[in-house]
Amino acid sequence: MTATLKNDRFLKALLREPVDRTPVWMMRQAGRYLPEYRATRAQAGDFLSLCKNAELACEVTLQPLERYELDAAILFSDILTIPDAMGLGLYFETGEGPRFRKTIRSQADVEAIPPFSATDDLSYVMNAVSTIRNALNGRVPLIGFSGSPWTLATYMVEGGSSKDFRTIKGLMYAEPETLHALLERLADAVTDYLNAQIEAGAQAVQIFDTWGGVLSPACYQAFSLTYMQKIVSGLKREHEGRRVPVILFTKNGGQWLERMAEAGSDALGLDWTTDIAAARQRVGDRVALQGNLDPAIMCTSESVVRREATVILEAFGKAPGHVFNLGHGITPDAKPELAKVLVDTVHEVSARIRNS
């Protein structure tokens, strides 16, 4: 059942082992910028139904790999599956982003969260992981993922997306013990969830801390990084005779890279506001780096994509430990033909740099 991995550049780069060329994937690579994704999504009915249907989730996961020579696939799912499984009632309002029918705003709310088991309560995710892993047949590694406890908590407390996070920050400053109780529950759940994905076939995992960057340094440490560190230390890091690398990504976390590098992950994701050469100097050889092209560039032109991707590759240089990616998810208005330009440029230019 476990086909030999034909392309392990991505896993090697995350472990800072030498590779012939820099591996590349794109956050949200299975997404609305692709017409075939929009067709499958229309067939599924809505976004959540697509996530819950293993065959269709597998189909959209593989779509970008048919077009581009990507070095990794990433599970098609949502970051809010855990709070949904905890009974909060996830739904999507057109143009409004995710919403929850119930919110968590008190100690009693936290205590009322039912017990969570990833294999029982999110079996549809594990089905998707094993279905995709089988379909990949060793072509490239499969990445599993979860939202970070802080990021999940923002949606659970606010009841959806937020501009200023006033409700969760109110809770954080006024009743920190309530928020810590919630984050403890989430850290345990995320650990269980990622371990279940690894058991089901995920060969690397990424923790998305989309909203850690809205915190002060002290609050980031206490309410986000601490819980990610706890998760990392509880993950199954060896599976199928191979190390399972872990990537931490805090959007707008560029000021805290040194601290993030101490949290035990194999790699850090960078958004585009950080210079990757400076980041490499700051974290030294403790972690690999993933990133960090501004996704806005995927709406421009071939020559701009080539130029800007080359700038990043040259800034990183030939040291081991670089996975090329965007600094955040590819947007719905990105031009699909530029994704091909990006992937091909990364391979060509990095082969030249790495063999020079």
Q: What is the binding site for a copy of itself (CB under 8 A)?
A: 164-166, 169-170, 173-174, 213-218, 220, 252, 254-255, 272-275, 278, 294-297, 299-301, 304, 308, 311, 331, 333
- 9 classed as catalytic: no
For Cα atoms 338, 339, 344, give the angle at the middle one, nearest 5 degrees: 95
Contacts for 124 with CB less than 8 Å, ≥ 6 apart: 51, 52, 53, 54
Q: What is the closest distance, in whole angstroms, from the C-beta atom of residue 31 to a copy of itself in the complex?
A: 14
Q: Exposure string (b/e) for 42-80, b if CB count within 10 Å is 16 or more?
A: eebeeebebbbbbebbbbbbbbbbeebebbbbbbbbbbb
- 41 classed as catalytic: yes
Of 42 and 278, CB closest to a copy of itself: 278
Contacts for 190 with CB less than 8 Å, ≥ 6 apart: 82, 146, 147, 148, 149, 152, 207, 231
Q: What is the closest distance, in whole angstroms, from the C-beta atom of residue 295 to a copy of itself in the complex?
A: 8
- 155 classed as catalytic: yes
Of 35 and 217, CB closest to a copy of itself: 217
> Is 184 in a helix, a strand, or coil?
helix
Q: 21, 28, 306, 354: which one is catalytic?
A: 28
Of 266 and 308, CB closest to a copy of itself: 308
> Distance between CA atoms of 121 and 128, rounded to whole angstroms?
14
Q: What is the closest distance, in whole angstroms, from the C-beta atom of residue 43 to a copy of itself in the complex?
A: 28
> Distance between CA atoms of 88 and 86, rounded to whole angstroms?
6
Q: 33, 37, 68, 155: which one is catalytic?
A: 155
> Distance between CA atoms of 214 and 356, rounded to whole angstroms?
41
Of 213 and 234, CB closest to a copy of itself: 213
- 99 classed as catalytic: no
> Distance between CA atoms of 132 and 83, rounded to whole angstroms?
23
Q: What is the closest distance, in whole angstroms, from the C-beta atom of residue 213 to a copy of itself in the complex?
A: 7
- 109 classed as catalytic: no
Structure tokens at 241: 């005779």
Q: What is the closest distance, in whole angstroms, from the C-beta atom of residue 329 to a copy of itself in the complex?
A: 11
Query: What are 238's strand-pairing partners?
Result: 243
Counted residue by residue, the chain has a size of 356
Q: 16, 41, 133, 185: which one is catalytic?
A: 41
Closest-CA residue to 91 (of 78, 75, 104): 78
Of 120 and 333, CB closest to a copy of itself: 333
Q: Which residues are catalytic?
A: 28, 32, 41, 78, 155
